[in-house]
Structure formats: structure tokens, C-alpha cells
Amino acid sequence: MTYNPIELFSEFRTRTKIVLIVWTILNLTILGVLIFGAGASIIGSIVFFLIWELLVWGYYVYRYFHRHKHKLGEWIDAIYFAVIAATVIRSMFIELYQIPTSSMEKSLLVGDFLFVNKVSYGTRLSMTPLCFPFAHHTMPVTNTKAYSEAIKFTYYRLPGLGKIKNGDVVVFNWPEDRGRPVDKKENYIKRCVAIPGDTLEVINGVIHINGNSEDIPPMRQYSYLAKLAGAQSGQNGMGSSGTLTESFLEKYDITDVENPAPGMMLLQLNSGNMDAVKNNPNV
């Protein structure tokens, strides 16, 4: 068989031809945005464009001319397509994230998964496009970098469908995560309480925006440091190590717990379970 692009194109079905034409137009659009909008290097942008063209063309060449030649052809075809489709979707449209910290407890819990719509505020183009599929910044087994900085682009965000509003829950890259490119820093999720131009004050633990106090959610949590009396295993919700028992914590839905020192517990509590802890005779 020949690998002349024109002859290969003539062998494809009409639907495949349409897909390749649309893909090339979109890829050229991204190329133009990188060069003229983001001010990225011409060589790096062209290399990025060619990589994606070869990946998509290579998929259809394999599907039409090589899939039937071996037993695992169907599996390779499915995996190849899934990797390309998932990479495009998670880079440009929607991505799955996992909650890393407890700051959103009782609304979103540590370990929860959520889908984030990237086009809401405008998709940020990848700054380090050479990376291992489905890995953020570290390989899961080898614990090595999952990306290469051989090609790096500047920060650029496409126009979005809307703007950030007060109260929106947003995902962003943690600024203090040093030593990594911006798009490879840890992903954090927080609630936006103020936007540019607002006046923000915290008075007696209550947030005031532009002079108006915000509505206090009924499950809002505060940090409490609990000093524990001598431990008696299993009695009054006390464990043998001087901590509240798992059954006590579970009964009152206390999920964010730290032990900063022996006989001390740092708890995130709301008005309901705070009373339960406060009234425990060993606290």
C-alpha cells in the first residue's frame, strides 16, 4: 500500500473524509490561535499541529489497512480511538477531577469526583502539550514526570460562555505548587466569594461583600481544637490512644480530623456536631 496522503484520502469513506477535513480545520484554527493570539513559537506550534495531524491520520490508516491483520486489531483500534477522543475532550471541553482537600467538606468531600466544564470561563490551551495521556504531572507507578517541557506555550485562554460570579465553585492550579509549569500544578477546588472590584471583609467569622453579609450555610464548619482527658478505651466516645472513637465521629458526621499533638484533636465542626463534642465528658 502507499502512504501518499492524497491516495489514502481517496480510499476513505465519505464520513471519514468529513471527519478529517473538520479536524484539520480545527487543528489549523488552534495553530493560528497559538501563533497569533498566544504568541507561541512558530516552530513549536507547527510541531504540535503536525503531531495531532499524524495521530488522527494514523488512527484511520490503522483502522482501514491494518486492523484486520491480527487478532488484537479491534482492541488496539478501540484503545487508540479512546486515547485520542478522551485527550481532546479533557483538554478542550470537560475534565474529571478528584477533590484533594477538605476545604469543601459537607458540600464536596475528599475523594469525590466531579466533571468540570472548561468552556464556561474559556478553555485554557495546554502550556505543556507533550504529556502522557490521563496523567496530570506524575506517572502513577514510576513516580516520574508525566510531561515534557520540550515544547512550552504561554498562558492563553479562549473566550468563554460566561464569567466567574460570586458563589461559583471553581477549579484552578494551586499557585504555591512551585517547580512545575502552571498547567501541571496541583488542581484545587474552592468557592469564589469575591470577584475583581468587590470589597471583602471578614467580621466575626462572617464574610461581608461590598458591605453586605453573605448568607450563612446551615452546615458551615469552623476549626476547633479539642483537648482530651485521660483515655479510657471505648467509654464516652474515647479511644485507647486518647482520641475520639471512629463510631463517635461517624455518629455525628465528623469527617475532617487531625491529631496535632498527643491528647489534642483539630476538628472541623458545624453547630450541630460541635455541641456533641463539647458535651463529651472527655473533651
* Residues sharing a CB contact under 8 Å with residue 264, sequence separation 6 or more, in sequence order: 225, 226, 227, 228
In this prediction, residue 242 carries a pLDDT of 57
The stretches in the chain having pLDDT less than 70 are: 1-3, 230-242
In this predicted structure, what is the pLDDT of residue 36?
A: 94
pTM: 0.76
**Beta-bridge partner residues of 124:** 157
Angle (nearest 5°) at CA 49 between 20 and 172: 105
pLDDT at 2: 61
pLDDT of residue 117: 95
* Contact indicator for 268, 101 with CB cutoff of 8 Å: no
Contacts of 248 (CB under 8 A, 6+ apart): 237, 254, 280
Q: What is the CA radius of gyration of the chain?
A: 26
**Distance from C-alpha of 116 to C-alpha of 250, rounded to nearest angstrom:** 30
Q: Are 160 and 117 in contact (CB under 8 A)?
A: no
SS3 208: strand
User: According to DSSP H, which parts of 33-141 are helical?
Assistant: 42-65, 73-92
Task: Fill in the DSSP letter of residue 149.
Answer: -
Helices 14-32 + 42-65 axis angle, to 10: 170
Q: What is the pLDDT of residue 233?
A: 42
In this prediction, residue 276 carries a pLDDT of 93
Of 118, 126, 124, the closest CA to residue 49 belongs to 126
Q: Which of 258, 262, 267 is nearest to 280 (CA)?
A: 267
